[in-house]
Chains A and B, each alone.
Chain A
Amino acid sequence: MEATRTKSSILSIQSLVIKFTLRGQVLTAIRDISLELYQGESLAIVGESGSGKSVLVKSIMGLLDKNGSIEQGRILYNDRDLAQFTTEREWLQIRGKEIAMVTQDPMTSLNPLKTIGKQIEECVVLHQGLKGKAAYEETLKYLTDVGIYDVEKRYKQYPHEFSGGMRQRIVIAIALACHPKILICDEPTTALDVTIQAQILQLLKNLQQKYGLTTVYITHDLGVVAKVADRIAVMYAGDVIEVGATHEVFFNGQHPYTWALISSLPQLGLKGQQLYSIKGTPPNLFKAIKGDAFAPRNPFALKIDYEERPPFFQVSNTHYARTWLLDPRAPKVELPETLLAFFEEGRQHANDA
């Protein structure tokens, strides 16, 4: 949480709009997003499937599918606008070198025909300009860093000789070996079982410290967020609807969608009662969205929610939410007991700490 106080922006996304053409129809995947990423912090982007979190980070690395394009907006990194990049040559200065990625499924993310050593070494050679013995030594160093034992033997082994958790460590080593400034972790633990998840998250946290990385987590698992993130950005239907420090979003969430997400946590469920779930379905992104995208599913929706897109209302220095409920003219809403109790408990926890 220290990092958020010494704010210096490393990557800045400004009014970004991304559209895809699918069978002649145009789909708006990212609807006018602005987001800052601060040096050294760890930001979690949460949201359900299809909310645009993956598209957002793919656009940062120039890895959008061919039918997708940036319609509007800027992605500023080191005084350069990544949104203007078109050639592979330009992107090669960013990919790996500046921004690296830990992908989702370790079982399929490694080339089955190359030894894991070679796959890590490829990055060392590409991005650190080392060759031969020096590159080999450096590779072994990264293997040790991600907690692999017997590195010289492991260097020569193939992915199929590793377990899922070990493979995820290799994927992390590959990302680290690129020597990036920003590390994007795209659902780094979804494919792993729970005990391994905790290990991997701890490892990522330690490595972030050691290498002074800025990390972005993409996830739909709020448990992961609570463990690793300094800040949270909540996405819904291609828009960031709430952003703030982890404890602010968790224990003083303002947007009804954030409430709904937290209420759906199994930990909040009461015995004998049905677990909360959000009614309805996410909006069709092929159609233009008017007002607040969440309004049709929102029990607290106001009339204006269907008409005009809410602006960001400031809650604190670091906490913003896009909901008309924060407008001074809005009526007071009654939150469910369980949610209020959770908020209260969380705030006390924060005070105790």
Chain B
Amino acid sequence: MLWYIGKRLLQSIITLFIIITIVFSLLRLMPEEGYLGAAADKMSPAQQEVYLSNLGLRDPLLVQLGNFYTNLLQGDLGKSVTYRTDVPVVTIIADKIIYSLLFGLGAVALSLIIGVPLGILMAHMKGRWLDRLGTGYIVFVVAVPAAVYYLVIQMYVTEIFRLPMLFDEYRPITWILPLVSMALAPTASYAMWMRRYMVDELNKDYIKLARAKGVKERTLMFSHVLRNAFIPMAQYLPATILFTITGSIYIESLYSIPGMGGLLVDAIQRQDNTIVQGLVLVFSSLGIIGLILGDIAMALVDPRIKLGKGESVR
């Protein structure tokens, strides 16, 4: 197991290395104005030249790449050019990621707590009222554009439950609506997948044998079906969790949460190359961590996956 994790980590670092190099190269192909920022108009061409070479942009490309890696290893992602001039990128991202992280994790936790049991119950009562109700909910959330039901929440739910609409760090009651809004879609998808995998498993032969040997329906559900149905879930769960963490532009702007959602768009619009670079690094690391966690989770629940040297499946 440790050997496997080590190997996967090594692979991921290589993947990350490739991604960073590609992003770095792409940004170097872009116009240099991005590094000049708002000051571009005020500088003479000679001044611009001095400024750019101070930034190291006149060095040979390989030297630039080398410098970039060295800085990266020291936790230095450079300084913001236009977004918040001269503030280290790490600081900017760190300020924002904390909100996205908390709301992301909160929403995922909420949707797991509601979605998974809902899916189980729906599979258990397949074809009955609860299943129909749940299916209705899933179809609604998936088919109706998010903007529509977010607006409904803003217009009516705030009224009915007297919940404040705008986010305020120091008033926990304002956290409720953003959390619920964020959890709506993942809840539906967890319920849908859980129901689907449970129903799949329930039709398998080993369930027939278990029934024939006199196992109670309830025991059957929890001791035989659930774990099997969870395998496909386990694999992609960590990845979905991490994608939720990266923040939702729409919800964050709706409730004015100072999270990461809008940062990438802002940075691109303002041609802030260093922030874009830093964000791509963060997002791809999260994605890769998600994949590793998925693989590990899957290996933990499924004995058929043999993790060892050579990874041979017997």
Q: Name A's B-contacting residues (CB within 8 A).
A: 61, 63, 88, 92, 94-97, 100-101, 103-105, 108-114, 122-123, 126-127, 158, 160-161, 171, 174-175, 178
Contact of A96 among B204, B212, B227, B314 (CB under 8 A): B212
B214 touches A111 (CB 8 A): no
Q: Quote the shortest CB–CB distance from A154 to chain B (angstroms).
A: 14
Contact of B215 among A112, A126, A171 (CB under 8 A): A126
State the CA gap A92–B304 with chains docked (Å): 31
Question: Which residue from chain B places its CB closest to the CB of A123 in the assembled complex?
Answer: B213
State the CA gap A127–B213 with chains docked (Å): 9
CB neighbours (8 Å) of B301 from chain A are 113
B304 touches A158 (CB 8 A): yes
Question: Which residue from chain A places its CB closest to the CB of B228 in the assembled complex?
Answer: A113
Contact of B206 among A61, A111, A160, A178 (CB under 8 A): A111
B302 touches A174 (CB 8 A): no
CB neighbours (8 Å) of B314 from chain A are 160-161
Q: With A113-B301, A158-B304, A160-B304 in contact, is A126–B206 under 8 Å at CB?
A: no
CB neighbours (8 Å) of A174 from chain B are 209, 213
A109 touches B205 (CB 8 A): yes
A92 touches B214 (CB 8 A): yes
A108 touches B213 (CB 8 A): no
Q: Quote the shortest CB–CB distance from A153 to chain B (angstroms).
A: 14
A122 touches B213 (CB 8 A): yes
CB neighbours (8 Å) of B206 from chain A are 108-112
State the CA gap A123–B210 with chains docked (Å): 9
Interface residues of B in 185-205 (CB under 8 A from A): 204-205
Q: Which residue, of A97, A113, A174, A178, has the highest number of chain B Cβ atoms within 10 A? A: A113
30 contacts between A and B (CB under 8 A): A61-B212, A63-B208, A92-B214, A95-B211, A95-B212, A95-B213, A96-B212, A96-B214, A97-B214, A100-B212, A100-B213, A101-B209, A103-B209, A103-B212, A104-B205, A109-B208, A110-B209, A111-B224, A112-B228, A112-B302, A112-B303, A113-B228, A113-B301, A113-B303, A123-B213, A123-B214, A126-B215, A158-B304, A160-B314, A174-B213
A111 touches B304 (CB 8 A): no
Contact of B228 among A101, A103, A111, A122 (CB under 8 A): A111
17 A-B pairs besides A88-B216, A101-B209, A126-B215 with CB distance below 8 A are: A92-B214, A95-B213, A95-B214, A96-B215, A103-B205, A109-B205, A110-B209, A111-B206, A111-B224, A111-B228, A113-B228, A113-B231, A113-B303, A123-B213, A161-B314, A174-B213, A175-B213
CB neighbours (8 Å) of A158 from chain B are 303-304
Question: Which residue from chain B places its CB closest to the CB of A120 in the assembled complex?
Answer: B213
Q: Quote the shortest CB–CB distance from A23 to chain B (angstroms).
A: 15
> What 5 A-B pairs have minimum CB-CB distances, sorted nearest first?
A96-B214, A95-B214, A108-B205, A101-B212, A96-B213
Contact of B212 among A63, A113, A126, A161 (CB under 8 A): A63
B228 touches A127 (CB 8 A): no
